[in-house]
Amino acid sequence: MPIPQIEAINRTFIRDDVYNSLREWIITGELEPGERLKDKVLATQLGISRTPVREALRKLEDEGLVETAANRWTRVAPIALKDAESIYPIIQKLEELALTLAFPNLSTGYVQQMQIANDTLRTALDKNNPQAAVQADAALHQVFIDAANNSELSVLLAQLKTKYQRIELAYFSQADLLLVSFKEHQELILAIKARNFELANQMLTRNWQASINQLRTSGEQA
């Protein structure tokens, strides 16, 4: 599959911009699992030299989104459910830690941000836009991660969620699953408003366990 149609990029287009574009196309599936990636072709289509493309591909390989066979090929990494089963419980525990750290800081402003994200998720469902719904889901969780004010935790979660986002779009974009997530988010928001940490943590755990259970079901059906 060719990369999305875009105009040749300005010469000031830097390595990070190449990386961000390729990463987004891989996560959204515009570049499909197993698809070959040729730095010369990508550079020509982007209107830049091969060096920033190669650097971006190496970074994506480090993150597990791209894989290579030396002097043979580079391709988009397949989505491995077994790897996901290892990642999800880790993200769950780290998000529970984030909620613990964030809870004293979750003022009305943060709660409003979470509500806006959840309302956006519901609107996306009504418009049958699973990609926007998944993005809204991630935005809601990001609110309390940011409120935790722990840069190391934020970086670690961001690295893990690079793979997680692809899995979300591939396996959890069904409307019924996202509707369940919307309802769980609403309970989480209400618990935070009530300053009930135990209930809020319980709802976050339930939200993640639903995803983990669905992941295992997908693996059994594969």
Same domain? For 85 and 34 the reply is no
Percent of the chain, pLDDT > 70?
89
Q: Is position 5 within any domain? A: no
Categorize the per-residue pLDDT at 160 as very low, low, confident or very high, splitting at 50, 70 and 90.
confident
Same domain? For 137 and 29 the reply is no
Residues spanned by the domain of 22:
15-76
Same domain? For 152 and 89 the reply is yes
Q: How many domains does the chain have?
A: 2
CA pair distance 118, 8, nearest whole angstrom: 37
Quick: pLDDT tens for 81-97. Answer: 777 778 889 999 999 99
Same domain? For 54 and 41 the reply is yes
Quick: pLDDT tens for 130-144. Answer: 889 889 999 999 999
CA pair distance 200, 65, nearest whole angstrom: 33
Mean pLDDT of the chain: 87
| CA angle, residues 155, 110, 171, in degrees to nearest 5 | 55
What integer pLDDT is reported at residue 1 of this predicted model?
A: 55
> For residue 91, what is the enclosing H or E element?
helix 81-102
CA pair distance 137, 24, nearest whole angstrom: 17
Q: Is position 7 within any domain? A: no
76 within 8 A of 34, measured Cβ to Cβ: yes
CA pair distance 57, 170, nearest whole angstrom: 22
- Model's pTM, two decimal places? 0.79
